Amino acid sequence: MERAEDAVVVQTDPDGRMELITAGEKAGHGASVDFRRVTLKGISSSPLVRACGPKGALLDATAGLGGDSFILAAAGFAVTAIERSPLVAAVLRDGLARARAEPRTAAIAHRIELHEGDARSFIAGAAHEWAVIYLDPMYPVKSASALAAKPIRLVRGAVGDDLDALQLFRAAALSSCGRIVVKRPHHAESLAPGADLVFDSKLARYDVYVRHGKALRASAQRSES
């Protein structure tokens, strides 16, 4: 169980990688980003990639440690990734830099442009139109998430719960993106009503909201009521 005193910090591991780690824990036992470990076989038919639809410009508005951004870039999307936690963004930036220097991952990593900041204001201020806005906010857990993988526990320790996820959905719905894809745990209710498509994977569900004329704007209004 994460205790209040289990502060999450960023440090360099013995291999020179930045890692998220619980303060006081032995270096090398935290979560760093190493895209060489990502299995790319079969990604085009993965529920995440299918949920995101035709390849185009995609905003990953909840970048985290970049696992989903990397898969989407490998599948052919031009990914803009944004992360608001400076700790998490620093570890992802470090992993991306190494991936750009590695022949096997360079081309994919070059398709990811990372920004640090809050996606709500980023979307509202952007002149750019994305085909897809992808959201994977932290889902609040009631009890200790001992079953969650360590990187997820460390990111949660660094950022807490994303209790403003609905505001992020509304910002996305008010943009002119073609679709919004929201990743949710199987047991969780949808972030907003009216998903057009649902893709299930072993670990999560992807709720897809497709723009039909002004319909996404209507979703934003429905989610307010």
Which candidate, 180, 173, 183, places its Cα nearest to that of 206?
183
Using the minimum distance from each CB to ligand SAM, give the nearer residue, 162 or 207.
162
Per-residue tokens: 24 = 């006081």
CB of 70 to ligand SAM, least distance (A): 8
In the complex, the smallest distance separating the C-beta of residue 213 from ligand SAM, rounded to whole angstroms, is: 26
Closest separation in Å from C-beta 210 to ligand SAM: 21
Of 138 and 197, which CB lies nearer to ligand SAM in the complex structure?
Answer: 138
By Cβ distance, which residue is nearest to ligand SAM? 64
Selected range binding ligand SAM among 40-48, 77-85, 174-182, 188-196, rule: CB under 6 A:
77-85
The residue with tokens 């998430």 is 145
Region near ligand SAM per CB under 6 A, out of 41-49, 102-110, 112-120, 193-201: 112-120
Q: How far is the CB of 167 from ligand SAM (least distance, A)?
A: 8
> What single string gives the DSSP state of each residue in 27-85?
TTSSB---GGG---TTGGGSHHHHHH-SSSEEEESS-TTSHHHHHHHHTT-EEEEEE--
Is residue 120 near ligand SAM by the rule CB under 6 A?
A: yes
157 binds ligand SAM (CB under 6 A): no
∠ CA 163-135-202, rounded to 5°: 105
- Closest to 215 measured CA to CA, from 177, 183, 166, 184: 177
**Cα–Cα distance for residue pair 52/111, rounded to 1 Å:** 16
Residue 84 sits in the site that holds ligand SAM (CB under 6 A): yes
| Size of the chain, expressed as the number of residues it contains | 225
**Are the beta carbons of 216 and 177 closer than 8 angstroms?**
yes
Distance CA 138, CA 174 (A): 22
Q: Does 88 bind ligand SAM (CB under 6 A)?
A: yes
Choose one: 11-19, 48-56, 133-141, 209-217; the region binding ligand SAM (CB under 6 A).
133-141
- Minimum distance between the CB of residue 212 and ligand SAM, rounded to whole angstroms? 25
Contacts of 161 (CB under 8 A, 6+ apart): 138, 139, 140, 141
Map residues 57-76 to x or -, x wherever contact with ligand SAM holds by CB under 6 A.
Answer: ----xx-xxxxx--------
Q: Can you give the binding site for ligand SAM, defined by CB under 6 A?
A: 61-62, 64-68, 82-85, 88, 118-120, 136-138, 155, 159, 162, 168
